[in-house]
Amino acid sequence: MSRTRAAELADTVTVAHGAFNVVGGLWPLLHLRSFEWVFGPKADDWLQRTTGGLLLSAGLAQLAAAADPQGRPQARRIGLGTALTLLAIDLVYVPKGRIRPTYLLDAAMQTGWIAAWLRPTPGGSTGKARD
């Protein structure tokens, strides 16, 4: 795989994960009822909206970083931080019964994003775009 191909893959992950976070963040902001139908009602609507706003911000930052090759490392840090945090919440609170088992679908997605960001690239590095 050439460095150009590696850069294309990094761009794809950056844009895809950014878009995923934008959609995930907008959902509870635009239609809380359908969000709660899938993931369960919560006691604090403001907390769902806050989390949605933070996900939206992370996604927009990733999408903005995708426009600049120098922005890829920042997009990667945002992506890994977001995915690791959401995965940890899913894996801690589903078994405790605090959140619905449907959050395990989110855990699977977050695991996929982590794997995409950590994938090996030519030269033996783990996903850090340096080109």
Per-residue pLDDT tens for 8-57? 888 999 999 999 999 999 999 999 999 999 999 988 999 999 999 999 99
Q: For residue 124, is it within any domain?
A: no
Q: For residue 130, is it within any domain?
A: no
Give the pLDDT band (50/70/90) at residue 129. Answer: very low
Q: For residue 47, is it within any domain?
A: yes
What is the crossing angle of helices 3-30 and 72-93, to 10°? 50
In the prediction, which pLDDT does 128 show?
Answer: 53
Give the pLDDT band (50/70/90) at residue 87. Answer: very high
Q: For residue 126, is it within any domain?
A: no
Instruction: Give the count of domains, the chain.
Output: 1
Give burial (CB, 10 Å; 0-12/13-18/19+) of 110.
Answer: buried
Q: For residue 131, is it within any domain?
A: no
Give the residue numbers spanning the domain of 56.
3-118
State yes or no: pLDDT of 127 exceeds 80. no
Distance of CA 106 to the CA centre of its chain: 10
Distance CA 35, CA 27 (A): 7
Q: For residue 123, is it within any domain?
A: no
